[in-house]
Chains A and B, each alone.
Chain A
Amino acid sequence: MTDLLQHAFNGLVNGSFYALLALGLAVIFGMLGVVNFAHGAFYMLGAFGAFILLNEAGVNFWVALLVVPLALGAVGMALERLLVRRLVALDPLYNFLLTFGLTLILQDLLRMKYGSQPQPYPQPAGLRGTVDLGLFDFPAYQVFVLVFSVLVSVGAWLLLARTRVGMIIRAATERPELTRAMGIDVGRWISPVFGFGIALAALSGVLAAPMRAVSPLMGADLIILVFAVVVIGGLGSIFGSVAAGFLIGMLQALGNVYVPGLATTSVFILMAVVLLWRPAGLFGREETAV
């Protein structure tokens, strides 16, 4: 029983990364209708950002946790203004290709400089060792990742549910044209929302650095799974993507123990089942016929 709980807890920690990444993807997809394939690359850049800051400038984890998401969020806003915006009016496939191409370029640039060998990143001081969770001991850093991710998710939810900006984003996600007819300059919010989604990806990258090795391909492995998480949660559903993130992290960890061969496949089987049963995803809203 304790074993099971420990695996489940481990799964929740992995789920934290899915949740934060899926949240950013869902916000971007909802507001722009863009499937941002480069999300995994920005996760990787987040981890590399922390790694480079530490090795080149001696900047510690806590500063990186603040600075790297802000900086990459700004890069995201620039990317939206310079490239993504120009393709939005065309078929969604164009932006998918753009972000896919960008992913390959970013991966190869880092591979040229650092090679594809995973690089270690030390655990931040104060979060080494384990904490006693009553039933079992658990690495302190993992506990931090889980708590921090839950706080960020709750914060994002409060922002969307309780503030005027959140209201505008919800309205514009649902019906952009009508929102403009209500006197709101929707275009003004698109760049910040894109930047916010990218910043969340970068944040999970920084969080991942001390737990997982830093490597140019770390995002590519993850992003396909996160797409499945977003689909299961319901495309564009903020709450759904976060809930599905934690849920799938847990299922995967338990799957790993009981049916080791199927752990990753099971996510896609789940996705197929959910799509057959509820085409809009677990928490998605069915589109009403116009």
Chain B
Amino acid sequence: MSPLLSVQCINASYGEAQVLRDVSLDVAAGEVVTLVGRNGAGKTTLLRCLMGLHRPTAGTVTLDGADITGLPAHRRARRGLGLVPDDRGIFASLSVEENLRLPPGISDSAWSMDRVYESFPVLKERRKFPGTKLSGGEQQMLAIARVLRMGARLLLCDEPTEGLSPVLVRQIGDILRDVKAAGVTVLLVEQNVRFASTVADRHYLLAQGRVAQTLDNTEVKEREHELLEYLGI
């Protein structure tokens, strides 16, 4: 079976600085895959290239067998890519409910507002609040709930646990496992390898803009110390 997402030899740069070099990776439908790497390894740039927010200098991105390399961001979203950006991307001028209603439902698998509120009761309580009046954890939930409501098939999650307390990190872990159980595929950028090994099936280690290694969960557990040292945590 062909993978849901296939990235072939992506190169990207900001001005003169090349950030990604020949990055290739595959994500199968239903998988949770993480991108691990130091700050500046190119993880966020890769997600931006996948979403269509940054133009790669070379390479192709294929979603469900179709080449989407040249598509603008909004058409990629309508094909099922859902971005949860590193700063959570909550609109301050929109209420919580408006943040949820902003993306159009793109498929039958789009969550209804009722389903969102059932899964995230705290968002229902705060639905009239401006989006940025939520706590960090609540904003993260809102960012994830928003792309689920759109009906995204592949979540591009950029460090969802960054800056959250251990309790909230566990909660985000539960949410991601639920998301996976609901059949949604996730590509997760994560520095916290211990957290990553509890939610993901496979891991790509990104170093200096290249895929350095691919690891499975057992390898991550065995080499946790080495990885943590490498990541500088």
A interface vs B, CB < 8 Å?
Answer: 164, 167-168, 170-171, 173-175, 177-186, 285, 288, 290
Q: Are B87 and A290 in contact (CB under 8 A)?
A: yes
Q: Is B72 an interface residue (CB 8 A)?
A: yes
If A167-B101, A186-B74 are given as contacts, then 18 extra A-B residue pairs at C-beta distance below 8 Å, sorted by A number, are A167-B102, A170-B93, A170-B94, A171-B91, A171-B102, A174-B94, A178-B91, A180-B53, A180-B73, A181-B53, A181-B74, A181-B77, A181-B83, A181-B89, A184-B74, A185-B72, A285-B92, A285-B93
CB-based nearest B residue for A171: B91
Q: Are B93 and A174 in contact (CB under 8 A)?
A: yes
Give every chain A residue within 8 A of B51 (Cβ-Cβ). Answer: 181
Give every chain B residue within 8 A of A184 (Cβ-Cβ). Answer: 74, 77, 102-104
Q: Are A183 and B104 in contact (CB under 8 A)?
A: yes
Task: Report the bound CA distance from A180 to B106 in whole Å.
Answer: 14
Give every chain B residue within 8 A of A186 (Cβ-Cβ). Answer: 74
Given the interface pairs A167-B98, A168-B102, A178-B85, the reply to whether A185 lies near B93 with Cβ below 8 Å is no
Chain B 66-108 near chain A by CB (<8 Å), digits 1 or 0: 0000001110011000010101010111100010011110100
Q: Are A183 and B150 in contact (CB under 8 A)?
A: yes
Given the interface pairs A167-B98, A168-B102, A181-B83, the reply to whether A174 lies near B77 with Cβ below 8 Å is no
Q: Are A175 and B73 in contact (CB under 8 A)?
A: no
Q: Is B202 an interface residue (CB 8 A)?
A: no
Q: Is B43 an interface residue (CB 8 A)?
A: no
Q: Are B93 and A173 in contact (CB under 8 A)?
A: yes
Give every chain A residue within 8 A of B92 (Cβ-Cβ). Answer: 174, 285, 288
Select which of B72, B89, B150 is within 8 A of A178 by beta carbon: B89
When A and B form their complex, what is the total count of cross-chain residue pairs whose Cβ atoms lie within 8 Å?
Answer: 67
* Total contacting residues, chain B, CB less than 8 A: 24
Give every chain B residue within 8 A of A180 (Cβ-Cβ). Answer: 52-53, 72-74, 77
CB-based nearest B residue for A168: B102
Given the interface pairs A167-B101, A183-B104, A184-B104, the reply to whether A177 lies near B73 with Cβ below 8 Å is yes
Select which of A170, A174, A183, A290 is within 8 A of B78 by beta carbon: A183
Task: Report the bound CA distance from A164 to B146 in whole Å.
Answer: 16
Q: Are A167 and B150 in contact (CB under 8 A)?
A: no
Give every chain B residue within 8 A of A288 (Cβ-Cβ). Answer: 92
- Taking CB atoms and an 8 Å cut-off, the chain B residues in 144-167 that contact chain A are 146, 150
CB-based nearest A residue for B93: A170
Give every chain A residue within 8 A of B98 (Cβ-Cβ). Answer: 167
Task: Report the bound CA distance from A183 to B52 in whole Å.
Answer: 11
Chain B 37-60 near chain A by CB (<8 Å), digits 1 or 0: 000000000000001110000000
Select which of A167, A177, A290 is within 8 A of B94 by beta carbon: A167
CB-based nearest A residue for B84: A181
Give every chain B residue within 8 A of A177 (Cβ-Cβ). Answer: 53, 73
B102, B106, B146 — which one has the most chain A CB atoms within 10 A of its CB?
B102
Given the interface pairs A167-B98, A177-B53, A177-B73, the reply to whether A183 lies near B103 with Cβ below 8 Å is yes
Q: Are A182 and B150 in contact (CB under 8 A)?
A: yes
Give every chain A residue within 8 A of B78 (Cβ-Cβ). Answer: 183
The smallest C-beta distance from A83 to any residue of chain B, in angstroms, reads 22
